[in-house]
Amino acid sequence: MSQAKLKIVILAGGLGTRLSEETVVRPKPMVEIGGHPILWHIMNIYASHGYTEFVIATGYKGEVIKEYLCEFWRYTADVQVDLRSGKMNMLSSRAPDWLVTVMDTGNETQTGGRVKRLTSCLQGETFMLTYGDGVGDINIHALVEFHKKHGKLATITAVRPPARFGGLSFDGDRIVRFSEKPQIGEGWINGGFMVLERKVLDYIEGDETIFERGPLERLAEAGELVAYRHEGFWQPMDTLREKQLLESLWQNVQAPWKTW
């Protein structure tokens, strides 16, 4: 399993209804943190470990993602413009050396169906899969090595869910400490950042298949699903409050997911 063969599939087609303040005009992966779409942040997590070939599964307002990527070089280039003729020369570019495929997987397609629709793009035996709305300080190299070592069809990154509320410590009825805990100390959930063998596609029936239900459940029953436990930072961006949290971390130079 060579690094060059591993493509990263990013699910970026959902409606993002719980973040409607932002997603009424753009898909959730295009909601910005620190002036960049969270999609850019996710791609940089992988790229910082040398994985730079992406397949973006779009749906709702996918044209916004396509336009952003098609115009990316303009945002990162020094240009010379002849205002009279409109002729433009690119002097230099700071765009990363990434190869990105954008595929429209339908507005109503479920997560499993989106992956299934990418079959023609996934020619190698192994690929990675994650969601377009979550970041973390995941060691991608360690994750891939974990997957190779166990030799199963699927590996998910298990994370501890972020705390929704602050923690209280008591002395009798008196509160002695109030803390906004970044993570709770119990329970594990699927945090994305998955490594999958191509045979996993056989577990997906069609557009209506929710990947997290039937396919993952059947893989678990078959003994083909393992979990890479990530004890570090992980945070989804499902709500405006979570978006504001990520923005605050970025602005205060305290973004644990910034591994580049």
With CA atoms as reference, report the closest residue to 13 among 1, 2, 23, 21. 23
Taking residues 34-56, what's their average pLDDT? 97
pLDDT > 90 fraction of the chain, expressed in percent and rounded: 73
63 contact partners, CB below 8 Å, separation of at least 6:
none
Distance CA 42, CA 112 (A): 20
Domain count, the chain: 1
If pLDDT is split at 50, 70 and 90, which confidence band does 124 have? confident
Q: What is the pTM of this model?
A: 0.89
Residue 23's CATH number: 3.90.550.10
- Whether residue 199 lies inside any domain: the answer is yes
- Whether residue 162 lies inside any domain: the answer is yes
What's residue 181's pLDDT? 53
Question: What is the rounded average pLDDT for all residues in the chain?
Answer: 90
- Whether residue 41 lies inside any domain: the answer is yes
If pLDDT is split at 50, 70 and 90, which confidence band does 166 have? low
> Phi/psi class of residue 223: alpha, beta or left (left: φ > 0; alpha: ψ in -120 to 50)?
left
Q: What are phi and psi of 27, to 5 degrees?
A: -70, 155
> How many CA atoms does the CB half-sphere of 98 hold within 13 Å?
28
- Whether residue 258 lies inside any domain: the answer is no
Domain that residue 179 falls in: 3-251
What's residue 198's pLDDT? 96
What's residue 49's pLDDT? 96
